[in-house]
Structure 1
Amino acid sequence: MRKFIITSIIFIITLLSACGTKENPIEILKPTEIEQKTSGSYEIETIDFNIGERNIADINYSLKGIISIPKEAKQKKLKVAIIVPGYYKDIKSQDKGFRYLTEYIAKNGYLGIAIDTDPAYYLKHTVDNEYENIPKIVDEHIKMLKESNEGNNVYDIDLKNKIDFKHIALISNSISKEAIFKLTKEQSEKGINILTLLLVNPTNNKYNDFNIDNVKNISILVSELDGEVVGLDGFSIYNMLKEYKNQNILSLTLLKNANHNYFNSKTKSNDAQNLDIDLSKQISRLEQEKFLKKFTITYLKACFRNKYDNTIYDTKVPTVTKIDSLDVINYLQTSKNEKLKDIRKINEFKGKNIK
């Protein structure tokens, strides 16, 4: 009798559970392809500059770089993108490899400047010294931009009252990430609030104190076939940044079949060859440069002009798998939508050929 009662109760509970359960249909989001739209219609002027000697730790170095501006911009003041290159052993004057990017930035109506970061690595070279030296070098360049805005003809081009210091973006490449967050904090203490960062193949060797109280937009671009930063450190950086809640934009884009070096036009080596894998689908240097040019402008338009529609920063666009016909994996967290759009777990993503 007791066995019969227990069996009956289980049957009733099971029946009630079945009756009260409604099967929720799962909505499958279709992959989205995005074509990045940029104008590139401005006539531009580009100057290679050497402003003169400066000093770090009693060692002199030259303050050099490349600056590009639109000749006749529609806006009264030029929003600024400062490129901080990483370190490539096979070239000197690290800025030279990003001339194509400063010029494209200017063609789209902004001021683009790439600085020579060689001194950060040659002056008593240690990893820690790069972290200290890059903010000092960039600070000198920002001082020169201020002087130009005040009417001093530093670059042999007229920039008097033409620079918008409320809209500055930093574009860092490779190991320069180690100093970018230190730099943004130091500049904010001097009244220069750098609100926008683009980290291209960033390293995450040691410094995880991001100091991003004033930074509102961070976009990370990672190359899948990175033979230099084989741990794909951009993913770990993104994971740590997710804990902060003050960003308007926080995104990570993995560009598939791309390598580390080809974003710098002057590097010769193909670092993807260090991975000892099939490179038959690797994209070309020109494809990577074209991608970075349009990716940069799309990001600047989102941050500087609130142009989000049909970009990877648009919360209405799900599961972006291609940008300009190139394969990507994209993650996004915004102040409007804090949930990742891609259900794959980002912490499970591994670099290729890592032991």
Structure 2
Amino acid sequence: MEKIKTALLSYGMSGKVFHAPFLDIHPGFELLGSWERSKKLIQEDYPSVKSYPSIDNLLADNVDLVIVNTPVGTHYEYAKKVLLAGKHAVVEKAFTTTVAEAEELASIAKEKGLKLSVFQNRRWDSDFKTIQKIINEGVLGDLVEAEFHFDRYNPVLSPKAHKETVNDGAGILKDLGPHLIDQAVALFGSPKSVFADIRYTRENSLVDDWIDLLLIYDEFRVRLKASFFVREANPAYTIHGKKGSFLKPRGDVQEDELKIGKKPNLESWGKESEDLQGILNTEIDGKAVREKVPTLQGNYFSFFDGVYDSIANDKTEPVTAQDGVKVMQIIEAAIASNTQKKVIDL
């Protein structure tokens, strides 16, 4: 297996938790190192890799793929520089800060024959994979409505300045919002229109920290919510169809296990506790059924598998640049809706 030489643009939480562990164990990647501006930490975890003093130094190395995992407001600038240097790229969410930026990056990648993917790892959460299976099996009948939550209880402002100061990439709409929006689009496609309510709820918050988005489809509606003031969790996923309902709490364990330094063990990795199984209440073959549904195994490794296959075998990226464009279209529509207090057609 030919190894894809890969470098990170930062080694903070995302590099240490979400990228390096999978690049390290995947036989198709060779982790070359990371650009590190002040703290030099990557060699503590991976002694054989490099700590690059600048992005230009990194791009001058024999790198095939660059992970753009810097603050959202820098994604466009850095991803463009990576692509123009002839390197494939994976860009974290939010993909960019505007639709125009997203479309330009997609155009550059296509023009240069490069692979460009958006890191939407939540498609490989155990709970989302289970939701996807339930919907694909059609056991709920024609859908009427769905509601997705990404809630936390965290009233304290983040110490990370780029998250709490007014800038194009700050706020919950571009932080947790892209996860929810991408999951909705992956399941249902792009909506016809969007209505949004965006609020500032924490004391002294300068950025949006509460969102309620309504995605309007022809025959059903999808509501997406995120808040920092949910002490008693709602179901993460509530789906109602004409035959039945499915409710599932958020239960994916991967982020928590990665944060405490656990390495992905592909056999047991991503298995939820049984007490977090979802409840299916529906009718199957004329019989009423109310039962717990075993949760599928989550695995972010599958995203990196897809990236490898896209580069090595010229397959479609696991999350395409056009997927990223669609998410940005909904984010822009949500901002316009909140400002104008009306439904925005896409």
Give the TM bin, normalised by the shorter chain: 0.3 to 0.5
TM-score scaled by length of structure 2? 0.37
Q: Which has the larger radius of gyration?
A: 1
